[in-house]
Amino acid sequence: MSEVRVFAPGSVSNIGCGYDVFGMALEGPGDVVTARLVEDGGEGVFSVSVSGDGGRVPTDPARNCAAVAAQAVLDRVGAGRGGRVGVALDVRKGLPLAAGLGGSAASAAAGAVAADALLGGGLDQTTLLECVVAGERQGSGASHIDNAAPALAGGFVLVPPGKPLRIVRLPTPVDFVAAVVRPHLEVETAKARALLGEAIALSAGIRQWGNTAGLVAGLYQEDWELLGRCIDDAVAEPVRARLVPGLEEAKRRALAAGAVGAGLSGSGPSVFAICRGRSAAREAARAIADAFRSEAGVDADVIVSPPSPTGARVLGTSASTRAATAGTGGSVGG
């Protein structure tokens, strides 16, 4: 048997105005997927074990994000290059569930990269991203790419609409740091998306696309005033705010503590605040956590992180990997 172990990071998506189009990879917690080739295990991803989830993540390969993404890789690699193999996955959840930190996308990215590495690492980024999105869809019921892209590729990214899928890496000022606070609450992404409906008012559209363009300009020009005013969501957050008790006070206190802008991380309940430097981010994180304690009566965990430049990455491979995959189209170093 041969195996590959892959880590993929958590992420903050939307970043205020960029519903489904902006995402940022985080340093720190993430999910780890180990993929093993099993010679007599049949074809495809046939077995999944999960730890760190309190028994809540499905182990059925058809319903597990990492397995769906890994299977999508096997399907694309195809029989000729070794795609018709049996693969067993072990998923270690380092990210909390229903937290707005891109946990499904991290599992899917780690699953896709692990499967690809197991078979020799031949898929390009666009194809891998399609596989990650297939896995993410299993988790949230929708094909949004804004957590999948940073989980796979790292950085602060824009995923423009249209096909082929594309990840556009955006620059960030050198002291751009996010304070990310997860209150001990849960919000199901699928439910938070269902609240939004299909249409928005023209006035909200104008505010949103002005903010989205302004945020990109602010990143390129390192214009903190512009960044601060454009980290503002006219579409999703106003509707979702009722799912997260303490949100408004948390944002208010983050700004009072010196944050440049703040909002819901993805569909929440986590809250992010963009700050100038780590010490400002630590202050903002403390202020947000205090707000959740006093306003919602819940504790909170804190991450302080600039955009992580790296996304999903191979942590290790078994010694036998090279030999086991040599006849199936490639090898994995290490």
Residue number closest to ligand HSE, CB atom: 266
Contact residues for ligand HSE (CB under 6 A)?
Answer: 13-14, 19-20, 100, 144, 146-147, 189, 192-193, 236, 266-267
In whole angstroms, the minimum distance from the beta carbon of 209 to ligand HSE comes to 16
Q: Distance of CA 112 to CAs 4, 73, 74, 250, Å?
A: 11, 6, 9, 36
Choose between 181 and 236: whose C-beta lies nearer to ligand HSE.
236
Min CB(141)–ligand HSE separation in Å: 10
- Could you tell me the smallest distance in angstroms from the CB atom of residue 266 to ligand HSE? 3
Supply the minimum distance, in Å, between the C-beta of residue 100 and ligand HSE.
5
Unique residue bearing structure tokens 């199936």: 328
- 194 vs 323, which CB is nearer to ligand HSE? 194
CB of 136 to ligand HSE, least distance (A): 9
Nearer to ligand HSE, 188 or 290 (CB): 188
- DSSP secondary structure, 116-142, as one string: HHHTTS---HHHHHHHHHHHHHHHHSS
The CA distance from 233 to 231, in Å, is 7
Strands 86-92 and 44-51 turn out to be: parallel
Nearer to ligand HSE, 19 or 272 (CB): 19
Q: Beta 176-183 vs 271-276: how paired, if at all?
A: antiparallel
When the beta carbons of 130 and 146 are compared against ligand HSE, the nearer one is 146
User: Which of 134, 113, 49, 45 lies closest to 85, judged by CA?
Assistant: 45
Written as one letter, the residue type at 306 is P
Identity of the residue, 90 or 136, whose beta carbon is nearer to ligand HSE in the bound complex:
136
State the pairing for strand pair 261-264/271-276.
Answer: antiparallel
Helix (H, G, I), strand (E, B) or coil at 274: strand
Q: What minimum distance in Å lies between the beta carbon of 50 and ligand HSE? A: 20
CB contact at 8 A, 320 and 37: no
Q: Which two tokens stand for residue 83?
A: 């795609």
Q: How big is the chain by its Cα radius of gyration, in Å? A: 20
Dist CA 91 CA 190 (whole Å):
22
